[in-house]
Amino acid sequence: MKLRGRQSRRIGAGLAAAALAVGMAACGSVDADSANGSTAVVAQAGTQVNYIFPFYGPQYATVQNVQQFQRLMYRPLYWFGKGADPVLNEDLSLADPPVWSNGNRVAKVHLKDFRWSNGEKLTPKNVAFWLGLARTEKKNWAYYTAGSIPDDLASVAYDDAANTVTFTLNKAVAPDGFLNAELGQITPFPIAWDVTGSGTKGSCASEDTAAQATSCPAVYDYLSGQAKDQSTYTSSPLWSVVNGPFTLASYQRGTQYTFKPNTKYSGPVKAKLAALTFKFFQSDAAEYNALLSKSVDVGYIPTSNLKPKAPGSPTGPSPVPGYQLDPVPFLAYFSVQMNYNNPDAGPLFRQLYIRQALQLVVNQDLAVQKANQGYGFAQYGPIPQQPVTPYVSKATTSNPYPFDVDRAKHLLQSHGWSVAGSGTATCDNPGTGPAQCGAGIPKGKALEFKLEETAGNTRVEQIMQQFASDASGAGITIHLAKETGNQVVGNLIACKPDEATCGWQMINAGANGYSSPFPSGKDYFGTGASQNFGSYSDPRMDQLIDATLTSSDRGAMADYERYAAEQVPSIWQPSFPLQVAAVSDRVKGAAPLNRALTPEYWSLS
């Protein structure tokens, strides 16, 4: 299975691909006990694992780092994903669902009887540890958004005897939203990590906020420094303290890493595999060759090898005998992101009519049928139609900007642009009037952009080539630039116009995945949000997003969906499964697959 995108960004990350397979790497041979024994091997392509500490900045928030690495060892407070459905999984969560009181202002969370691999019990101090870092290291947490956790906490009470944590909020909230979008961020940390240096104890796990304010910055600096040293991932005593079903047995940077079962795991399902190895693939072709040679138990079918799927059918025929296809659902939106602060392109992107014109030249239906053999569906806003959630509304299924190159061209002409033949449109009528180009756009300005994409991904390349071709028919010139997955991820960063990092204009980083079943826009489109890399800002959007977090009325989410679809803060692209997985007939317990990997259920016959 090739996982694409960020965990709540790029899923990822993405963006470069991550492949889930069982077999050999592109540049190595299959281990003797792998495909023919009791070791399942997961292959990755594109963005590689590069961070082990589960408190990370946006640059590390990828599916590879989180779902395929950290969470196999360090379980979050709440686990989302049950079978193919993006729902709360109470069995795999470390805590019971919160009990609400005081008009949805107080949430009491009871921790289950979990143990760390060093024998210590999961306690409120482990939650306090995360909260201490969340308070002092906001700039280093990928999902921090001003006004949400920890800013919205009036107080937190820890009851070690009852094993509970009580969150008192400064205003009433929507219980679903707070559980999914805020409590769902928390990953309890072991006390063994509360150190400021080797053998030097810290106080970040203290339940006293004053002590945390003093100690947590030094603890973070030490842990983040250790996490950047990939050579110590298996030798460091820090990372061997886990509470998940696996522990890291070996790690070879950029090549492979292997998990073994955590024999002290106290969760409901113990790992059945002897080992689980992730190996890096250089290309889709290498992974597909491994499938054909049956050295892969769970792999993925590259887009170029898929056979067409008929409308209404769950899958097309499998191109590899002995493997069942499993399209992996992905709660995410796919888009081309725009940099509103780029000094050259920003003034253009800030014009709604230009964003509308860009959206009008996206032929989503053609992309699904031709670039992905019928696997996927059109997407008109930030919440996908599939997988089905309670938050899908009519705004999700109605396209305000159906594909129409002529309409896009006329829209530009009506706003002062000269569109001659097949050339690039230029601003002929500058100014801020209703029939003029808009603020910051000088006379003669050409309507052209640089769009960065991940090289080697056939589907993305085809879709972007078609997008650029159709855009040219409206007078919009798009220069495609192919880069490695890591380069694309690294370039996608929020910036100020005068910063060197603000050179990017448009980036197709793949999917922007939601980390929980609650598809909040707070991380992506809120002003100053942690993953609002394009620096989009709209007071009305901020109000609508806030309403989804504070109102239990589902209409609030529909209002946000509709406005986001119409405003085009990103250029909406068709949505696809996380990947079309290929599962060997001898693998039990793997299908249906979910982005939240649970290989403790897997076994090989």
Which pLDDT tens digit goes with each residue over 427-454? 999 999 999 999 999 999 999 999 999 8
Q: 235 Cβ partners below 8 Å, 6+ apart? A: none
Residues 511 and 368 in one domain: yes
- Residue 549 falls inside a structural domain: yes
Q: Is 595 left (phi over 0), alpha (psi -120 to 50) or beta?
A: alpha
Show the domain range for 499.
Answer: 332-573
Give the least confident one: 75-79, 251-255, 401-405: 251-255
- List pLDDT tens digits, range 52-91: 999 999 889 888 899 899 999 999 999 998 888 888 999 9
Strand ordering across the sheet containing 298-300: 298-300, 580-584, 323-327
Instruction: Say yes or no to pLDDT of 538 above 90.
Output: yes
Q: Which of 176, 201, 216 is the last residue of a domain?
A: 216
| Torsion angle in degrees (nearest 10) through CA of 604, 257, 329, 173 | 120
Residues 290 and 357 in one domain: no
Residues 155 and 287 in one domain: no
- Residue 233 falls inside a structural domain: no
pLDDT at 227: 98
Residues 484 and 359 in one domain: yes
Banded pLDDT at 376 (limits 50, 70, 90):
very high
pLDDT at 45: 65
Residues 391 and 477 in one domain: yes
Instruction: Say yes or no to pLDDT of 300 above 70.
Output: yes
Banded pLDDT at 287 (limits 50, 70, 90):
confident
CB 69 within 8 A of CB 280: no
- Residue 83 falls inside a structural domain: no
pLDDT at 46: 64
pLDDT at 44: 73
Residues 212 and 271 in one domain: no
Expressed in percent and rounded to 5, the helix, strand and coil fractions of the chain are 25, 20, 50
- Residue 232 falls inside a structural domain: no
**Residue among 536, 508, 489, 486 nearest 342 (CA):** 536
Instruction: Indicate the burial class of 366 (C-beta count within 10 angstroms; 0-12, 13-18, 19 or more).
Output: middle
The predicted model gives 396-406 an average pLDDT of 92
Task: Assign residue 463 the CATH number of its domain.
Answer: 3.10.105.10
Give the chain's largest Cα–Cα span: 76
Residues 296 and 339 in one domain: no
- Residue 223 falls inside a structural domain: no
Residues 289 and 417 in one domain: no
Task: Assign residue 103 the CATH number of its domain.
Answer: 3.90.76.10
Task: Assign residue 49 the CATH number of its domain.
Answer: 3.40.190.10
pLDDT at 396: 75
Roughly how many angstroms between the first and final C-alpha of the chain, as a whole number? 20
Instruction: Say yes or no to pLDDT of 517 above 60.
Output: yes
- Residue 68 falls inside a structural domain: yes
Per the structure, the count of domains in the chain is 3
Unique residue bearing structure tokens 């499998």: 318
Instruction: Say yes or no to pLDDT of 349 above 80.
Output: yes
Query: Can you count the helices (H) and strands (E) in the chain?
Result: 14, 27
CB 348 within 8 A of CB 505: no
* DSSP assigned state of 511: E
CB 278 within 8 A of CB 260: no
Residues 466 and 598 in one domain: no
